[in-house]
Chains A and B, each alone.
Chain A
Amino acid sequence: MVAPVNRRPGHSRRAQYGTFFGYLLAIGGLGIGVLLLASGGDDSSAAQAARNGAADITAPAAELAAAGRSEGQGFLAVIGGYLTRGSRVARLEREVAEARVKLAEQAALGEENARLKALLGLAQGEVRPVATARLIGSSSSSTRRFATISVGSRQGVRPGMAVRAPTGVIGRVLEVGDNTARVLLITDTESTVPVRRATDGIQAYAVGNGDGTLKIRLATTGINPLRKGDAIVTSGSGGLFRPGEALAVIVSLTPDGAIARPLSDPGATEFVIVEPIYDESTAQAATAADGGR
Chain B
Amino acid sequence: MPSPLVSPITDFVRGIGKPGINRGPSTLLAVALPLLLVMAGSLSPTWPVIAAAPVMPPLGFILLLAWQHLRPGLFPVWAGLPLGLFDDLFSGQPLGSAVLLWSLAMILLDILEVRFPWRGVVQNWLVGGAIITGYVLLSAQLAGGLDLPLLLPQIALSILAYPLAARLVGAVDRLRLIPIRKY
Contact = CB atoms under 8 A, between A and B. Distances in A.
Interface string A191-228: 00000000000000000011110000000000000000
B46 A211 contact: no
A61 interface: yes
Interface string B18-31: 00000000000000
A3 B89 CA distance: 32
A291 to B, nearest CB: 15
Interface string B35-52: 000000001111111111
Interface stretch (B7-15, B74-82, B175-183): B74-82
B172 interface: no
B107 interface: yes
Contact of A137 (B45, B80, B93, B117): B45
A140 interface: yes
A23 B114 CA distance: 14
Given A29-B81, A37-B94, A142-B92, A189 B145 contact: yes
Contact of B73 (A4, A37, A51): A4
Nearest to A53: B89
A141 B50 CA distance: 10
Contacts of A210: 53-54, 145, 147, 150
Contacts of A58: 43, 46, 90
Q: Which of A66, A68, A143, A265 has the most CB of B within 10 A?
A: A143
Nearest to B149: A211
B100 A139 contact: no
Contacts of B139: 142-143
Interface residues of A, number: 60
Contacts of A144: 92-93, 143-144
B50 A140 contact: yes
A42 B98 CA distance: 12
A60 to B, nearest CB: 10
Contacts of A237: none
Interface string A58-88: 1001100110110010000000000000000
Given A7-B114, A140-B54, A146-B92, A29 B84 contact: yes
A143 B44 contact: no
B133 interface: no
Query: What are the 10 A-B residue pairs with the smallest beta carbon separation, nearest first?
Result: A139-B92, A33-B100, A36-B96, A212-B52, A69-B48, A29-B81, A5-B73, A29-B103, A33-B99, A25-B78
30 contacts: A1-B71, A22-B77, A26-B76, A28-B78, A28-B81, A29-B100, A29-B102, A29-B106, A30-B100, A30-B107, A34-B96, A36-B100, A37-B95, A37-B97, A41-B95, A61-B46, A137-B90, A139-B93, A141-B54, A141-B56, A143-B140, A143-B143, A145-B92, A147-B50, A148-B46, A187-B53, A189-B144, A190-B144, A210-B147, A266-B50
Interface of B: 43-59, 69-73, 76-78, 80-81, 84, 89-104, 106-107, 110, 113-114, 117-119, 139-140, 142-145, 147, 150-151, 154
